[in-house]
């Protein structure tokens, strides 16, 4: 029997200011059969946009959750107010590639714990789940990963992996996103297509597709992304991150029975 493969679609930077662009993706992808998402939600964007003060957004998030989507914690402020880097690479990525949005890329444990605790507090006010954390601009320090685990978080999503604390597993899971400001990424979707859909060595890994509100304006990039999603829905099963972990957990449990 052929092994079943999976894919997931995340919409990042969910907040009240970008809700129209986010709803556009939700409606536009329905004809492809993509009807559930990981909604990666900012607790308090740049310190002046707390989601607990946005009742219409919270209502919509609860509705999406009831219909199968997953809510994911996306940093706290989605901006690097710490501004210190431990390595040249962190500085290049955090300051120059992602323009100061890598909020957790170099945070020490105590500060990461403080930020994450505040994120959890805001989400709990809104009755939103706090199991899964995805760092803004993908950057996260080892201290921050430990802080999320110590706060009772179940998993951290990174660009190339999912850290599953419950099962003490790390799943390789590469991400494809639209980033029009980087010329080489114009061809990234083709490379992703080759590796994730044609090579057996990689095709069994979870494929992660990522959208941001600004991607709505990048018509060519979004068209290519939709083309690959249309292929994915025919070859793979659509899941949320939580659903994927549960599937893997069941397989682990069955493998260990005697």
pLDDT, tens digit, for every residue of 173-202?
Answer: 988 888 644 544 556 767 777 767 665 566
> So where are the chain's domains?
6-255
Do 22 and 222 form a contact (C-beta atoms < 8 A)? no
The predicted pLDDT at position 201 comes to: 60
Burial of 133 by CB count in 10 Å (0-12 exposed, 13-18 middle, 19+ buried)?
A: buried
Rounded-to-integer distance, Cα 21 and Cα 184, Å: 25
Kindly report, residue by residue over 1-38, the tens digit of the pLDDT.
345 789 999 999 999 999 999 999 999 999 999 999 99
The reported pLDDT for the residue numbered 189 is 66
Q: For the chain, list residues with pLDDT below 50.
A: 1-2, 180-181, 183-184, 252-258
Angle made by CA atoms 11, 65, 70, in degrees to the nearest 5: 45
Alpha helices, DSSP H, located in the chain: 19-28, 55-66, 88-91, 109-125, 142-150, 188-198, 200-203, 219-235, 241-255
The CATH number given to 6-255 is 3.20.20.370
Residue 44: both structure tokens together? 């308090």
Q: Where do we find the tokens 């899971």?
A: 173
**Cβ contacts of 66 within 8 Å, gap of 6 or more:** none
**SS3 call for 220:** helix
Q: CA 56 to CA 33: how far, in whole Å?
A: 26
């Amino acid at each position: 029997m052929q092994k079943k493969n999976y894919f997931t679609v995340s919409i990042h930077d969910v907040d009240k200011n970008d809700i129209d662009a986010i709803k556009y993706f939700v409606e536009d992808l329905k004809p492809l059969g993509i009807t559930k998402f990981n909604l990666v939600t900012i607790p308090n964007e740049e310190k002046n946009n707390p989601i607990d003060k946005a009742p219409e957004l919270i209502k919509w998030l609860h509705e999406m959750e009831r219909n199968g989507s997953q809510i994911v914690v996306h940093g706290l402020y989605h901006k690097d107010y710490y501004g210190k880097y431990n390595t040249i690479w962190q500085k290049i990525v955090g300051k120059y590639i992602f323009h100061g949005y890598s909020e957790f890329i170099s945070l020490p444990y105590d500060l990461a714990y403080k930020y994450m605790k505040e994120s959890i507090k805001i989400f709990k006010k809104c009755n939103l789940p706090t199991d899964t954390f995805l760092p803004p601009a993908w950057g996260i320090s080892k201290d921050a990963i430990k802080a999320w685990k110590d706060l009772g978080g179940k998993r951290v999503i990174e660009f190339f992996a999912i850290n599953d604390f419950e099962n003490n597993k790390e799943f390789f899971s590469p991400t494809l996103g639209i980033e029009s400001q980087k010329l080489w990424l114009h061809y990234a979707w083709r490379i992703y297509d080759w590796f994730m859909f044609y090579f057996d060595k990689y095709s069994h890994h979870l494929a992660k597709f990522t959208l941001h509100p600004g991607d709505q304006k990048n018509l060519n990039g979004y068209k290519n992304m939709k083309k690959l999603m249309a292929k994915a829905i025919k070859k793979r099963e659509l899941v949320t991150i939580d659903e994927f972990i549960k599937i893997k957990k069941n397989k682990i449990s069955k493998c260990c029975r005697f």
